[in-house]
Structure 1
Amino acid sequence: MAGILSLVWFIGSVLVTPFLVILLCIVFLASIGKSLGVRRLYVKLLLIIFEYGRANIETAQKQAHRNEDSDDDEITAPNNNTADELKDKLIKPPNGIKKPNNGYVPNDNSVISRDDKLILLPEPLQKKDESGEITETKDEYKEYYLSSIFDYLKAGMEAIIEDQVTSRFEAEELKNWNLLIRTNRRYEFISWKLTAIWVCGFFVRYFFLFPLRVTICFFGVWWLTLCTALVGYVKEGNFKQKLNKYVSIMCFGILSNAISSVITYHNEENKPKSGICVANHTSPIDVLILMCDNCYSLIGQSHGGFLGILQRALARASPHIWFERSEVRDRHAVANKLKEHVSNPKNPPILIFPEGTCINNTSVMQFKKGSFEVGSVIYPVAIKYDPRFGDAFWNSSKYSMMQYLYMMMTSWAIVCDVWYLPPMQQEEGESAIDFANRVKSVIAKQGGLVDLVWDGQLKRTKPKKEWRERQQEEFSKRLKIE
């Protein structure tokens, strides 16, 4: 019995000791704001492995195509032109397009081509003359034919087949396999070398990285709760603000190791110091990514349970804004608290995601105008994730928070770029909606994202009745002579 216990103790110490050493190193490096660069070397190694896998897959596909062509040459057909033409149509797709395997169509290649002039937008575009004033259309109608509606019927059918909204709430499709995403192509069994790499990667992710990341996550949450609670007892003043910023960056730096994040910050001279910081929204970890480099105040609905304990601990150390459930939809209450917060220059910048929902890292959707009505300086921030190492997008209608965290912790890493953009202010005579759209276009351009006018809440709710009525009115105007 004693021998068995000693064996268990020995095995446990062998397994636990490396985890404790790594955890202590992570905490120490995060506390002094330094990094050994191990994660960046790890990412470079992954890129080499991905490139090797891509080369193997392309070689196997070329060999398969050659085998198919040789089989096609052996097919005999009747000696008449009709049979030959039929054979060509069946075997070779038109216009030299390769047949997709298993019905696979990449997301970046649209199935249909649209005429942008026929897309009815949420807010009908009004024509402006050279002076910038809105011009009214004439009330003269062109002659109407039944065929006048065909283009609009075509645009409607195209929207049903492939609209611009629902495609933004599906995982971004990768051009090359990263030994991670689930696929029906069975890439991992193309060659024995690729199979060996895939098996090794599976064991590394699930039997080393995953338990290590879970340990770091639990420790990081406990450490964040403890540190912020202690900071809350410090007397108000400049010292408390500096201490809170240091503790916040340190604790979130530890938590970022739970997803092996590799973050590159650009243009740090534009980093927010006060006011309102707005960013595009891909994932709940957007907060984690930004808090690793700066201290922000957060805004959101108050919760109970464990999350409530964490919120109260954060609120002791820094002036966050937590709303009761009854206040969330009260726009005036939200605006008043925002104005109160930004009126004090000593408060940290408040972090807001104006889209109100997570988008799949390919586009930016409509910004809510609330945060742009406060009259404060806006600090735009663009966040772009590299999907080759892990998909950061959270599809809340498909995965729970625990499932999402599980997928994050079993990914290779979370690699992203963050751009701090120059501060922007509302111009004279500019409406809050126009200001929000101007900020949105700047973020989309910097992050290489598609700038869309649609409201992201359309994934949960039907279009408003007013929208349908506006589109009917706009359709009638387009039949007038301009």
Structure 2
Amino acid sequence: MALIWTLLSLGFSLLLTPFLLFVAAIVILASIGKSLGVRRLYVNILLKIFEYGRQHIEIAKNNLRRDSCDNSEDEAACKPVPDSNSNDVKRLGNGQLNGVLANSVISREDMILVPDPVLNYPSHTGAEGRRDAASQSLPRRLSFETLKREFELADCLEYVKTGVEAIIEDQVTLRFEAEELKSWNLLTRTNLGYEFISWRVTVIWMIGFLVRYFFLLPLRVLICFIGVMWLTVCTGIVGYVPDGVFKRWLNRLVSIMCFGVLSSALSAVITYHNPENRPKCGICVANHTSPIDVLVLACDNCYALIGQRHGGFLGILQRALARASPHIWFERSEVKDREAVAKRLREHVSDPNNPPILIFPEGTCINNTSVMQFKKGSFEVGSVIYPVAIKYDPRFGDAFWNSSRFSMLQYLYMMMTSWAIVCDVWYLPPMYQKEGETAIDFANRVKSVIARQGGLVDLMWDGQLKRMKPKKEWKEKQQEEFSKRLKVD
């Protein structure tokens, strides 16, 4: 018996030693900002595997379809289906398919109800459209001759049609669901039962499952634990350094180093574009998909953060970061005090020695297909705004955090059992508020720039609608607009 235990211990040691050496190599390389290109090679191999799986899924589906057609007399159901990569089904943009939302079953051409009734019609979109509509008659206003009759039910059918379309498929709900994929990525949580459609695909899926759960998951958990400990220790040391140029330099070095280690826990492959526009001071605003947005940006630059105090895992990170850098954390009761938030924000950006403060104006996570309403608070400060667009590649893992459905630990578990986190980051030129421009118009202008660069759909809806009911004044504005259409000019 003693011999068996000795052999088992020896075998375990032989397996554990290379594993620990591998982890140490990853941590050391990430700490010094170097890479051997293993992660990018890994991602390229995954793409080839996905394509191989897609081809065999298509073959298996066609075979099944052919067999069913042999026993069917319905000729229409047996017409050939275009391949997902053919020009007939060409993806023109993120979340779009031939100009329509990829997962949309409704084509809205006449009217879409939005918070600002002036923009209900496609011809009046954006700031220019808002000005045009303000100076012209509302579209489809009825003439005096038309109003010689009494009100008819048909006068409101356009609103009824639009309302029914919104009930069937509204713009807001779609933004809080996982982004639809063109082809299966071998993850069971995003498939339609494809893992058993072909024996080749089944073998690939089983191997992938073993790799993700029995190799990548323990490896990533260990790296994450080391990264959090390393961040806590390093920021604690920086906290004892007197304020000055050296502390700011050391804080930047430590921040990028520690977040680089943490990015290894997700096998993150991040591509940064236009580094000449990297934020140096002021306010940096970005679209928001996940808490790891901070991780993605902090691997390339040092930022101060603003937000609500949290407990648990996020609380540990917040307290560690606060030791070394002037972050702004609010208690839940203070967050609603806009004056207090704006005051502390102005104090931060007024000091050129402070790092740029990172803000996500949407206030909630969106599924990386769209950009929703930017809160105007950060645009009232009067500071330079550095827009940043972040776009995740959903083929390797869904980075969206549905906070109403998953806790932070559940979300991290899902990230660590995904293939990888692959994303692009675009640094956009700094923007300034124009003379006479309101904070709302400035926020919308910045939002449209981010949406255009990231290939995202630009929406004016408030992301908080996933937690609250629409505002009463929105309904009243629509009623007022409809009444104007029935008035005599």
TM-score (norm 1): 0.90
For the residues of structure 1 that align with 2:131 and 2:475, how far apart are their CA atoms? Answer: 31
Residue 57 of structure 1 aligns with which residue? 57
Deviation at 1:97, TM superposition (A): 8.1
For the residues of structure 1 that align with 2:280 and 2:263, how far apart are their CA atoms? Answer: 22
Residue 101 of structure 1 aligns with which residue? none
Deviation at 1:65, TM superposition (A): 2.0
1:324-473 aligned within 5 A:
324-473=331-480
For the residues of structure 2 that align with 1:473 and 1:348, how far apart are their CA atoms? Answer: 46
Matched, 1:108 2:102: yes
Residue 39 of structure 2 aligns with which residue? 39
Matched, 1:13 2:13: yes
Residue 103 of structure 1 aligns with which residue? none
Residue 125 of structure 1 aligns with which residue? 118
Q: Alignment RMSD, CA only?
A: 2.4
Deviation at 1:43, TM superposition (A): 0.4
Which secondary structure state, in structure 1, belongs to the residue aligned with residue 72 of structure 2? helix
Q: Deviations over 1:126-167 (max 9, x none)?
A: 788999693264997642432111121111101000000001
Residue 193 of structure 1 aligns with which residue? 200
Deviation at 1:312, TM superposition (A): 2.5
For the residues of structure 2 that align with 1:214 and 1:64, how far apart are their CA atoms? Answer: 41
For the residues of structure 2 that align with 1:451 and 1:30, how far apart are their CA atoms? Answer: 36
447-456 or 58-67: which moved more? 58-67
12-21 or 253-262: which moved more? 12-21
Checking the alignment, whether the CA contact within 8 Å between 1:129 and 1:135 is kept in structure 2 is no
Which secondary structure state, in structure 2, belongs to the residue aligned with residue 72 of structure 1? coil
Q: Deviations over 1:354-408 (max 9, x none)?
A: 0001111100000000000000000000000000000101111111111111110
For the residues of structure 2 that align with 1:236 and 1:65, how far apart are their CA atoms? Answer: 70
Matched, 1:318 2:312: no
Residue 24 of structure 1 aligns with which residue? 24
135-144 or 442-451: which moved more? 135-144
Code of the residue aligned with 2:429 in structure 1: it is P
Code of the residue aligned with 2:404 in structure 1: it is S
For the residues of structure 1 that align with 2:33 and 2:54, how far apart are their CA atoms? Answer: 36
Indicate how the Cα distance of structure 1 residues 267 and 225 shifts in structure 2: closer, same or farther if over 3 A, else same: same
Checking the alignment, whether the CA contact within 8 Å between 2:173 and 2:466 is kept in structure 1 is yes
Indicate how the Cα distance of structure 1 residues 282 and 481 shifts in structure 2: closer, same or farther if over 3 A, else same: farther
For the residues of structure 2 that align with 1:165 and 1:94, how far apart are their CA atoms? Answer: 36
For the residues of structure 2 that align with 1:15 and 1:185, how far apart are their CA atoms? Answer: 36
Deviation above 6 Å: which 4+ runs of structure 1?
94-98, 126-133
213-222 or 141-150: which moved more? 141-150
Indicate how the Cα distance of structure 1 residues 355 and 95 shifts in structure 2: closer, same or farther if over 3 A, else same: farther
Indicate how the Cα distance of structure 1 residues 176 and 426 shifts in structure 2: closer, same or farther if over 3 A, else same: same
Residue 280 of structure 1 aligns with which residue? 287
Code of the residue aligned with 1:400 in structure 2: it is S
Checking the alignment, whether the CA contact within 8 Å between 1:342 and 1:376 is kept in structure 2 is yes
Q: Deviations over 1:9-43 (max 9, x none)?
A: 21331332123112211221122211000000000
Q: Any stretches of 5+ residues in structure 2 without a counterpart?
A: 83-96
Which secondary structure state, in structure 2, belongs to the residue aligned with residue 417 of structure 1? strand
Checking the alignment, whether the CA contact within 8 Å between 1:390 and 1:414 is kept in structure 2 is yes
Q: Deviations over 1:175-214 (max 9, x none)?
A: 1011114366421222222111111111000000000000
Which residue among 221, 230, 235 is the counterpart of 2:237?
230
Checking the alignment, whether the CA contact within 8 Å between 2:30 and 2:264 is kept in structure 1 is no
Which secondary structure state, in structure 1, belongs to the residue aligned with residue 329 of structure 2? strand
Checking the alignment, whether the CA contact within 8 Å between 1:267 and 1:420 is kept in structure 2 is yes
Checking the alignment, whether the CA contact within 8 Å between 2:184 and 2:191 is kept in structure 1 is no
For the residues of structure 2 that align with 1:31 and 1:373, how far apart are their CA atoms? Answer: 38
Indicate how the Cα distance of structure 1 residues 33 and 474 shifts in structure 2: closer, same or farther if over 3 A, else same: same
Identity %: 71
Matched, 1:155 2:162: yes
Matched, 1:259 2:266: yes
Which residue among 210, 227, 230 is the counterpart of 1:220?
227
Checking the alignment, whether the CA contact within 8 Å between 2:392 and 2:422 is kept in structure 1 is yes
Deviation at 1:7, TM superposition (A): 2.5
Deviation at 1:414, TM superposition (A): 0.6
Checking the alignment, whether the CA contact within 8 Å between 1:137 and 1:480 is kept in structure 2 is no
Checking the alignment, whether the CA contact within 8 Å between 2:178 and 2:367 is kept in structure 1 is yes
63-72 or 354-363: which moved more? 63-72
3-12 or 273-282: which moved more? 3-12
Indicate how the Cα distance of structure 1 residues 30 and 94 shifts in structure 2: closer, same or farther if over 3 A, else same: closer
Deviation at 1:307, TM superposition (A): 4.0
TM-score (norm 2): 0.89
Matched, 1:92 2:76: yes
